[in-house]
Amino acid sequence: MFPPHPTDPGDDESKEPDFVVIDVETACARVSSICQIGIVGFRNGAVTFEYESLVDPRDHFSSFNTRIHGIAARHVVGQPCFADVHAVVHSHLSGRTTVAHSYFDKGALAAACLVHDRAMVETTWLDSVRVAKRVWPELPSHRLNIVAKHLGIPLKHHDALSDARAAGMIIVKAIDHTGSQLTDWLAPPPRKRPPPLPRPATGGMLKGQRIAILGEPRDGPLAQRIAANGGKIMASVGATTTMLVVAADEPFGYVRYDAQFKRAEAYRASGSDIQIVSAASLLKALPL
């Protein structure tokens, strides 16, 4: 049996956190090698509890990882191993919404449970990277330190407790900024429908041609010009495609490594009559 969710003295159910945040540091390239855990609970935008522990990973420490977080083998001597702290971690996360900045921490937790023969933690995961990308798409990167600096969130990067606190504040600020609820972020973002392909004219130089475009939008000016001359725009290169129009100068350079280009060449090699032409040469041949 796991202990109940830990609470501060005098707390009641009204102070149950809206969500918790976890961050872990690892000793080496194996994601199961957790050497520090930080967990923070949030309610109504404020911290309700914090838990932090160094962990003996029962694994070696790589110099690369130690340079990142500063934790070495000597720091975990006498500290509990993951099996010892599993019940506490489980009690904080189980049945709640758990935030992590990327799903590295989710994978590390699952791997550690497997290695140490402990039950998987059943929780609802929310990636704060995904939230930050939706709310602040203008940022050049959505790494924790970049987002924290942009939002003025204090951070001692690669300290598990500080990282967890900062990731939680990203969610708090995202809710404040957008007016959304936590449940809104748990739902996947709405999928954008692709724009409709232009309808081909009933006649023209390209009537009967089934044309895929590489390097420009399928509803852009090039596609419109092709459709106006009777060509049917295809979503991608397929067995019935008669022409691939490449928005690049011949001999096409790096474009040759594109999957559509290679597919067109494979069809040609198998006997298909598909043409591969540059957009410039096609446009020259079309009437104004």
pLDDT value at position 10?
40
Phi and psi torsions of 22, nearest 5°: -125, 140
Q: What is the pLDDT of residues 172-209, one digit of tens each?
A: 999 999 999 999 999 877 777 777 889 999 999 999 99
The single-letter code of the amino acid at 39 is I
Tell me, which fold does domain 13-186 have in CATH?
A: Nucleotidyltransferase; domain 5 (3.30.420)
Report d(CA 160, CA 175) in Å as an integer.
Answer: 23
pLDDT value at position 124?
96
pLDDT value at position 126?
97
**pTM attached to this predicted model:** 0.65
User: Are 99 and 19 spatial neighbours (Cβ–Cβ below 8 Å)?
Assistant: yes
Report d(CA 159, CA 68) in Å as an integer.
Answer: 10
Q: Using a CB cutoff of 8 Å and minimum separation of 24, what contacts does 262-265 make?
A: 263/236, 263/237, 264/212, 264/237
User: Are 87 and 3 spatial neighbours (Cβ–Cβ below 8 Å)?
Assistant: yes
Q: Where are the domains of the chain?
A: 13-186, 210-285
The CATH homologous superfamily of the domain defined by 210-285: BRCT domain (3.40.50.10190)
Residues of the chain with pLDDT under 70: 1-14
Do the domains at 13-186 and 210-285 have one common CATH topology?
A: no
pLDDT value at position 237?
93
pLDDT value at position 13?
46
Report d(CA 264, CA 272) in Å as an integer.
Answer: 9
pLDDT value at position 14?
53
